[in-house]
Amino acid sequence: MTDTPGTVQGETGKPAGFGWGDAAELHKCADGGGLFHRFKTIRRGSFAELIRFVMDLPEDHQDEYAIQKEGDRLFKAGEIRTLSRRPDFPAPHG
C-alpha cells in the first residue's frame, strides 16, 4: 500500500505516515534446504506487529528473520532494528 496520497484533488503529495498498519509477512531466512528455503512465511500481521515480534527475539536470532511489507519490499534485521527506534513507531495495543 502506498503512503503517499494521490494529487488528483490537489493534495500536497507528502507522505501520510509510514504504514505501520500495512499487512506484512515474517519470513525465516536461509533455514536450509528445499526450493523456497530462503523465503518461508511463518507469520502474518501488521508491519508494526511483526517488527515487535522480531525485536522481542534474542538479539542473536533476529538476523534469521525478514519482513515483507505488502506493496513494498523486504526489510532485513538491521532495518527492522532501525525502524523499531523511530519516534513514530506505534506503541503496542493493550
Share the mean pLDDT of the chain: 81
pLDDT tens-digit map of 26-47:
998 865 555 455 567 899 999 9
Q: Exposed, middle or buried by CB within 10 Å (0-12, 13-18, 19+), for 61? A: exposed
Extract the C-alpha cell encoding 35.
526450493
At 43 the pLDDT is 94
Asked whether residue 32 is assigned to any structural domain, the reply reads yes
pLDDT number for residue 4: 47
Residue 37 belongs to some domain of the structure: yes
68 in a structural domain: yes
pLDDT for 35 equals: 47
Q: Are 84 and 51 in contact (CB under 8 A)?
A: yes
Q: Decide if 9 is inside a domain.
A: no
Longest dimension (CA), the chain: 51
Residues of the domain holding 62: 23-84
pTM comes to: 0.74
Which of residues 73 and 18 earns the better pLDDT score? 73
